[in-house]
Amino acid sequence: KGEDWLAFIFLIERFTGEVAAASNEGPLQWVPIAKLAELPMWEGDRYFLPLLFDDDPRCFHGYLPYENNRPLSWSYVRY
């Protein structure tokens, strides 16, 4: 049986200071929103990314179970 993960995603609209060159997950860079779909990512990320950039300002809570590294389903609630 796999592990359960809890993730938090934050969207910032502005930033001051210097961006770190890398994290333990790899190099960091600013990417235009229109180019996000071209980046390598977990298949399930493509389910929730549109919610980050739509016109609905509410937070959301999503459930995205995986099996064999593939999403089984996707559900979410806005609040």
Confirm if 49 and 76 have CB atoms less than 8 A apart: no
Give residues with Cβ within 8 angstroms of 9, minimum separation 6.
Answer: 48, 52
Render pLDDT for 39-59 as a digit per residue (tens, 0 to 9).
999 999 999 999 999 999 999
Render pLDDT for 11-38 as a digit per residue (tens, 0 to 9).
888 889 988 888 898 888 888 999 999 9
pLDDT at residue number 32: 92
- What is the pTM for the complete model shown? 0.77
